[in-house]
Amino acid sequence: MHKKYLLLSSLMIASFALSNPASAASIINGNFDTDLSGWSTVTNGGSAQWDAGKAVLSTGSDVAAQSSVLVQGDDGLFSFSNPITLGAKDNLFKFDAVFSVLATDALESGGGFADNLQVWLYDSMDSSLDTRIATIDAATFNSSFSFDLSSFIGRSVAFSFELNDENDGFNSQAALNNVRIEASPVPVPGAWWMFVTGLFGLSGNWLRNNLKNSILKTLN
Ligand SMILES: [Ca+2]
Ligand SMILES: [Ca+2]
């Protein structure tokens, strides 16, 4: 009896372990709880500040590429003194972003591209691998974003959020939160589930038979 329970428990634990692999927490202070520690900021006419548990990038007067930048894994000068090494399970880069349009900018004539947030992955050893993993229009409805990192596993990289001030007539803001690296859920193979559910069925039969025998013994 005890052996069967132990076997069943072990299989259940193994099943959960397969379907819920541990994720690696490679991003420092991705929740921006009290400040921007762990991150470097670079500004080019805009601003990058902590506010109420978020990292807030804002464009400023006139137009400028990389108006405000928030980066981790690098100090913004591509020295890569603290790159993020992506482990075998670090295959999703996720974050939340809330966008808002600020006041009109008297130095912008309008009619150009909308202000936008670019998300970059910079490789510490090979710049030919640098990849813009997203360009998000600053008028995008608030949302959560997820990007596949599986082709960068084993690389040491930096992640950079870069708000560009375009000639759209307005200034913009992006409030970032919950920046993290996660493991993709691993689907459990169908054959394995059939094996586990079969064991549950056997276990049920075994319990029913033992219950029936106990009742019969009591009645006799
Ligand atoms: Ca501007
Ligand atoms: Ca603008």
Q: pLDDT tens across 156-185, in order?
A: 999 999 999 999 999 999 999 999 999 987
What CATH class is the domain 22-182?
mainly beta
Neighbouring residues of the ion ligand 2, judged by CB less than 5 Å: 115, 165, 168
- Beta bridge mates, 133: none
Q: pLDDT tens across 108-162, in order?
A: 999 999 999 999 999 999 999 999 999 999 988 879 999 999 999 999 999 999 9
Q: Which ligand is nearest to the CA of 61?
A: 1
In which band, very low, low, confident or very high, does the pLDDT at 23 lie, cut at 50, 70 and 90?
Answer: very low
pLDDT of residue 75: 93
In which band, very low, low, confident or very high, does the pLDDT at 28 lie, cut at 50, 70 and 90?
Answer: very high
Q: Where are the domains of the chain?
A: 2-18+188-219, 22-182
Q: Can you read off the two tokens belonging to residue 56? A: 């807030």
Q: Which ligand is nearest to the CA of 67?
A: 1
* 70-107: b (≥16 Cβ within 10 Å) or e: bbbbbbbeeebeebbebeebbbbbebebebeeeeebee
The answer to whether the beta carbons of residues 116 and 166 sit under 8 Å apart is: yes
Given a cut of 60, is residue 200 above it in pLDDT? no
Rounded to whole angstroms, how far apart are CA atoms 67 and 63? Answer: 8
Q: Which ligand is nearest to the CA of 107?
A: 1
φ and ψ at residue 159, rounded to 5 degrees: -110, 135
The answer to whether the beta carbons of residues 116 and 137 sit under 8 Å apart is: yes
Average pLDDT over residues 14-21: 46
- Beta bridge mates, 50: 55
Q: Can you read off the two tokens belonging to residue 98? A: 């809330």
Q: Can you read off the two tokens belonging to residue 12? A: 């259940």
Mean pLDDT for all residues in the chain? 84
How much distance in Å is there from the Cα of 21 to the middle of ligand 1? Answer: 44
User: In the Cβ-directed half-sphere of 19, how many Cα atoms lie within 13 Å?
Assistant: 12
Rounded to whole angstroms, how far apart are CA atoms 153 and 146? Answer: 16
Average pLDDT over residues 35-47: 97
The answer to whether the beta carbons of residues 34 and 13 sit under 8 Å apart is: no
Place of tokens 């219950």: 211
Q: pLDDT tens across 42-88, in order?
A: 999 999 999 999 999 999 999 999 999 999 999 999 999 899 999 99
